[in-house]
A and B are shown apart, each in its own frame.
Chain A
Amino acid sequence: MYRSRISSRLSIGGLLVGLILAGSTVWSDETCNSPYMSGLIKGQEDFIHVWTLGEKGLGNGSDKLVTIDVNPSSTTYGKVIGSVSVGARGEAHHMGFTDDRKYLWAGGLDDSKIYVFDVGSNPGKPRVVRTITDLPTKSGFIGPHTFYALPGRVLIGNLSNNTDKGGVTGLAMYNNKGAFIAKYDIPTGTVGGVKGDGYGYDIAVNPAKNVMLTSSFTGWTNYMRSLNDVVKDPEAMKHFGSTVVVWDLKSMKPTQVLSVPGAPLEIRWALAPGQNWAVTAAALTSKIWLIKQNPAGTWAAKEVATIGEPSKIPLPVDISITADGKGLWVNTFMDGVTHYFDLSDPEHPQETYQKHTGRQVNMVSQSWDGKRVYITSSLLSKWDKSGADNEQVLRGYRWDGHALTNSFEVDFTKEQLGRPHHMKFTAKPAAQVAFVDHAK
């Protein structure tokens, strides 16, 4: 299974020759939240909050949290009902709730700032209550990507470091009040017989197994550079992640490095009780990988499916697993296709549906019941397509198990908002119950 890091990188570089534009990733939907988070929305979500990259010359040009009414019974269904600008353009990318789902942490991949939005007091009107700026100085890491709720804490998966701005990075832990607690390096040495590359991206925890998985992408020098330049630079193409790390969550120590070539991005655990596997998609090789526990208790990674035609570089980005673990949505950025895979047999995923959902598509989020699917377009400011292909939208769909039907669309360019990236859902609190406003 294990292939050398060098050979896999060379093959990745070969695949990408001639590629003009491509993308990165994220995690988002209701089925991929931290298992430590309370208040999963298992009915109709009321709002979608979209962490949106500011674009120079468009509106105020700043990154902003855009709130969209997505309750079909509302008079403002499918409309932008609010926008909170953070007053800077720092490469807005991903977000994550705190364990109480009342605060949304949103990071900038370029400026490494983290904005904490209060979405609990009034979900329809988020507001910034804190800005965390000490990630680089406290941890040495930059590019905060994944925000993963642990009890009373947020674990941040980073993409880069503030020394050479390459891909070697780690995890930073903060408490919910925004105070730095600890840092954990992604391993660069050999763990379990496989050499680590030190790269980071997503975080996913299975509490019943005491296992945390982290995946690997690339550093600031690549993700903040034009993709056209990156793919033409053989040296740059060597610097993409090719590992998934298995951690003992309790001790926060790596126990295995798994070889997963091609920049494995989002990781999704099967959510049903008793399941012992997760999946990830390798962006550059267009493969779905299964990460499963062996009878002996160790973990193994196995390539189980191909997404689209790898020679055409579809570039799978975000994935979203269904609540029962039997289906997987996959967006491919370059061809703008949303794919559905039947995961009933995770060893042999089968693509059963696909739909062209945009000129470029990145994030895909689904409701807990799987009946609603949302997609956004932007990948990274310097990796998005250009000209007419630079479509910047959020599209809502209904899913009846057979086909996606468009239900609304928000054009973020027309609305002067920017590039829509990560989505998170909120719901109005129950009547007669007022949430405690921790920020006051």
Chain B
Amino acid sequence: MSALSLKALAVAAGILGVPAAALPAVDPGVAVAPRIEFTPPRPGTYRLQKIQPATDATLLDPSGRPVRLSADTTGKITLLTFFYTYCADPIGCPLAYRTLLDVRAGVGRVAGLEQRVRFLSVSLDPTIDTPAAIGNYRDMVSEDSTLEWDVLTARSVRDLLPVLEDFGQDVSVEQAADGSARRTVHHMLKMFLIDHTGMVREIYTLAFLQPEVILNDIETLYLEEKPRASRSRRPDHLRSKIQAQID
């Protein structure tokens, strides 16, 4: 494992100074990491469904400026993950992070693909994950990589909840003594693959969190972008065959 990965996992595992009281519950519905006992279908030999439009909202970037979520879910193929900077669930956020690193490495091996892909991490806990906190996280994840990896947070749980609701990101809300929303509790790990038009094309939960499959899905969306397909690493004759199948 690289030094970067170790550092990332340390951050993700919450051992860099996050108060113990802030640690989230372990996902209750999962027991084991995903297995992959098959050869995934090749990119472009299948079509990803158009599941739903990605929602829009005003969130905060690491400098604390309001930004439109849609600016980060259109224009490129986006892999969106909701996360905590301090998540300790061994089959939750750190697993997602390792998956993202594997996918990023795969993207880097496909000529021209890196410029068409963006990772986006949105914090599930705006109370602890302040702009400064996500700024540190962004700096960490962006180190030694040219792939765009944006990180956003929200002003409040109240601002975040409509986003989670629209994506169908399963959380519950931990309430303070006065009944106000204190923080969210993550119940199901999900990643959202969004095409360049802002349409959600695949959703990965734990059983689907397979880097090879995710990479193939990204390449499949890349091949849909006809004008850009010529950048593919694939030989022309194969690319034409795949494109014909898509058409």
Contact = CB atoms under 8 A, between A and B. Distances in A.
B41 A248 contact: yes
Given A38-B28, A100-B168, A100-B170, A151 B203 contact: yes
A282 B144 CA distance: 58
B50 A181 contact: yes
Interface string B135-159: 0000000000000000000000000
A36 B37 contact: no
Given A208-B35, A208-B36, A250-B41, A434 B175 contact: yes
A151 B29 CA distance: 14
A230 B161 CA distance: 53
A414 to B, nearest CB: 37
B49 interface: yes
Contacts of B101: none
A352 interface: no
B40 interface: yes
Contact of B165 (A182, A253, A433, A438): A438
A177 B165 CA distance: 10
Nearest to A37: B29
Contact of B172 (A151, A152, A434): A434
**B contact face: mostly helix, strand, loop, or mixed:** loop
A155 to B, nearest CB: 11
Contacts of B188: 38-39, 99-100
B160 to A, nearest CB: 10
B203 A152 contact: yes
Interface string B182-198: 00010110100000000
Contacts of B165: 436, 438
Interface in A170-226: 173, 175-177, 179, 181-182, 207-211
Nearest to B47: A251
A39 B28 contact: yes
Contact of A38 (B32, B46, B51, B170): B170
A298 to B, nearest CB: 12
Contact of B168 (A176, A182, A208, A252): A176
A436 B38 contact: no
Question: Contact residue range for chain A?
Answer: 35 or more
B51 A433 contact: no
Nearest to B40: A250
A221 B49 CA distance: 32
Interface in A35-74: 35-40
Interface string B10-48: 000000000000000001111010111110110001100
Nearest to A38: B29
Interface string A381-406: 00000000000000000000000000
A210 to B, nearest CB: 4
Nearest to B170: A100
Contacts of B97: none
Interface in A263-320: 273, 276
Contacts of A209: 37-38
A39 B29 contact: yes
A102 interface: yes
B211 to A, nearest CB: 14
* Residue with the greatest number of chain A CB neighbours at <10 A, chosen from B29, B34, B45, B203: B29
A137 interface: no
B243 interface: no
A37 B29 CA distance: 8
B205 A36 contact: yes
Contacts of A438: 165, 168
B38 A210 contact: yes
Contacts of B203: 151-153
A179 B208 CA distance: 22
A432 B51 CA distance: 33
A177 B55 CA distance: 13
Contacts of B208: 36, 151, 207
Interface in A224-261: 248, 250-253
A102 B170 contact: yes
Interface in B193-238: 200, 202-205, 207-208, 213
A207 B34 contact: yes
A436 B36 CA distance: 33
Given A35-B207, A438-B168, 19 more contacts: A38-B187, A38-B188, A38-B205, A102-B170, A151-B203, A152-B51, A153-B49, A173-B49, A175-B52, A177-B168, A179-B52, A181-B51, A208-B38, A208-B207, A210-B40, A273-B32, A432-B175, A433-B173, A436-B165
28 contacts: A36-B208, A37-B29, A38-B29, A38-B170, A38-B188, A39-B187, A39-B188, A99-B205, A100-B168, A100-B187, A100-B188, A102-B170, A152-B168, A175-B52, A179-B52, A181-B50, A181-B51, A182-B49, A207-B35, A207-B208, A208-B36, A209-B38, A253-B46, A273-B32, A276-B37, A433-B174, A434-B173, A436-B171
Interface of B: 27-30, 32, 34-38, 40-41, 45-46, 49-52, 161, 164-165, 168, 170-175, 185, 187-188, 190, 200, 202-205, 207-208, 213
Nearest first, the 10 closest Cβ-Cβ pairs linking A and B are A38-B29, A251-B46, A151-B203, A100-B170, A207-B207, A208-B35, A38-B188, A152-B203, A210-B38, A39-B29
